[in-house]
Amino acid sequence: MADRSPSNSPSKGKAQPNPKPESREQPVLPPDRPSNPRRRPVGALAFWTYLTISVGLLSLLLSPLLSQRDQHSWFLSLPPDLRLHFSQGKLIKIHPSPQLPFRVFAIDSSPAEFSETVLLLPGLACNSFSFRHVLSALRSCGLRTVALDPPGSGFSEIPRVPGGLEDVFNQIRDKGIFWAFDQMVETGHAPYEEIRAKESFSPYGPAEIGHVIKEVVREMNLGPVHLVIHDSMLASGANFAASYPSLVRSVTLLDSAAGLPAFPYWALGIPVAGRLILKSPSMFFKLMRLCCSRSIDMPAVESQRLLLLRKDGSRGVVGMAKALNYSFDLREWKELDGVKEMPFQLLWSNNWSDRWIEEGRRAAFAVPEGKFSYHLGGRWSQEDNIKEITERIVEFVTSLPKTIRKVTKESSEDLGEKALEGNDHSLH
Ligand SMILES: *[C@@H]1O[C@H](CO)[C@@H](O)[C@H](O)[C@H]1NC(C)=O
Ligand SMILES: *[C@@H]1O[C@H](CO)[C@@H](O)[C@H](O)[C@H]1NC(C)=O
């Protein structure tokens, strides 16, 4: 490492301490450079460390600005209905333990008075925008309806694992390849093992997403909710319900299987073709009609395409797909204490494919006590069969005993009574 003889030009502005050549190492700076007597002599290695730290700090300071500008121009390219959707929701900061904090988008569609809260959990590559019509239809039936964008999808941020391969790659990209060499000199080995260990942790695992759901419920004070789990969100929704049964009033599975997402995430994972598909409105449209909904319209598909086109949008989806629990057992989960007592409903497309109908039969078999109904929509029925889906959810939720909300200590008893009075008139 010591025989590296780089040009000094980048050091002048960035390296704070003036490195001074040391006798046992090769000089880094030309001898005519005035040395500062107050500073301790520093070796070449230390010089690079200082340089690395200052460049690292600079890029740390600059990168939020740069990515903010990226985000800004991407946001301005979105159609007005997507921007309106964004303005009606909010970003909730999540603090997962081994990861860096990130923000999740959630939208709250509340009638003036309500007693029941529905929480929509969209599946892979899907988001709250896809449920926009269901959100407003449920609200007009007197249900408070909240939908969230899964981490890395829609308007939610991409969670990052500090020290993972992606993080190290970003650091090298930001700090230069010499930073990586210096890391190796400092630690004496290439940090493959540590990176690999960190890589095996996914911020999209069912337990991690379950934590995100809990944080959203807590932050928005949703209280006990009627979960509507769509598509591949099953394992994460299940994790949340099993961990916090007191926060769940009922569960509706909307064409939901843990390991069979409708969205063709594999196509996005193909190195060049994935990007081409995302760049081509007509190809993406055909793919969505083939895989998600036969009658989804072009503007809806365009919105989904534009949401995936943001920086790292498709990487979020591919990361999420990798973390799906393909061995999830519906029956085993349904038998758990706390989940056993939850009322269940299953809504299934009988108009999609034989394989999907078979999957529905299997789900009905796993949850025999659940209320099973077929519908005529596709796998993303929220886009093509809004009326039927909404009616089934409203029927099911209102057939259950009313939710008694626990009044928080902060709100006075009067307030609680008023809320309960209001609830009596909220339905029909
Ligand atoms: C995946 O599902 C199986 C069966 O339901 C369960 O035992 C396992 O813990 C799940 N894995 C994760 C990571 O949640
Ligand atoms: C699905 O339903 C539509 C409308 O009812 C019908 O026209 C179509 O033939 C059905 N497709 C299949 C595969 O059953």
Which CATH number characterizes residue 138's domain?
A: 3.40.50.1820
For residues 230 and 120, the answer to whether their CB atoms sit within 8 Å is yes
**Could you tell me if residue 315 is inside a domain?**
yes
Which domain range does residue 182 map to? 165-197
What are the phi and psi torsion angles at 293 (to 5°)?
A: -155, 130
Q: Note whether residue 74 is domain-resident.
A: no
* DSSP alpha helix (H) spans, 142-280: 165-175, 177-187, 192-199, 206-219, 234-243, 265-269, 271-279
Q: Tell whether 187 and 222 lie within a shared domain.
A: no
- Which protein residues touch ligand 2 with a CB less than 6 Å away? 351, 376
> Do residue 181 and residue 285 come from a single domain?
no
Chain centroid offset of residue 384 CA? 24
**CA 379 / ligand 2 centre spacing (Å):** 13
Print pLDDT tens along the chain (428 aa): 444 444 444 444 444 444 444 444 444 444 444 444 454 544 666 666 666 666 666 655 555 555 666 778 888 889 999 999 999 999 999 988 767 889 999 999 999 999 999 999 999 999 999 999 999 999 999 999 999 999 999 999 988 876 656 666 666 667 776 776 777 777 666 555 566 666 667 889 999 999 999 999 999 999 899 999 999 999 999 999 999 999 999 999 999 999 999 999 999 888 888 889 999 999 999 999 999 999 999 999 999 999 998 878 888 898 899 999 999 999 999 999 999 999 999 999 998 999 999 999 999 999 999 999 999 999 999 999 999 999 999 999 999 998 877 654 444 343 333 343 333 333 33
13: in domain: no
Ligand closest to 210 (CA) is 1
Residue 396 lies in a domain: yes
Task: Tell me whether residue 34 is in a domain.
Answer: no
Same domain? 314 vs 362: yes
In a domain, 359, yes or no: yes
Q: Which atom of ligand 2 approaches the CA of 353 most closely?
A: 13
144 with 180, same domain: the answer is no
Q: What atom of ligand 1 comes closest to residue 205's alpha carbon?
A: 13
User: Do 84 and 175 fall within a single domain?
Assistant: no
Residue 65 domain-assigned (yes or no): no
Ligand nearest, relative to CA of residue 204: 1
Query: Counting ligands in written order, which one lies closest to the CA of residue 336?
Result: 1
Residue 186 near ligand 1, beta carbon < 6 Å: no
Residue at which a domain ends, from 197, 216, 247 = 197
Distance from the alpha carbon of residue 295 to the mean position of ligand 2, in angstroms: 11
What is the Cα–Cα distance from 35 to 13, expressed in whole angstroms?
16
Q: Of 197, 218, 242, which residue sits at a domain end?
A: 197
User: Is residue 124 included in any domain, yes or no?
Assistant: yes
- Same-domain status, 370 and 275: yes
Cα(316) to centroid(ligand 1), Å: 21
In this structure, are 131 and 174 located in the same domain? no
Same domain, 325 and 190: no
303 and 192 in a single domain? The answer is: no
Among the candidates 173, 197, 221, a domain finishes at 197
CB distance 73 to ligand 1 below 6 Å:
no
Considering its fold, how many domains does the chain have in total? 2
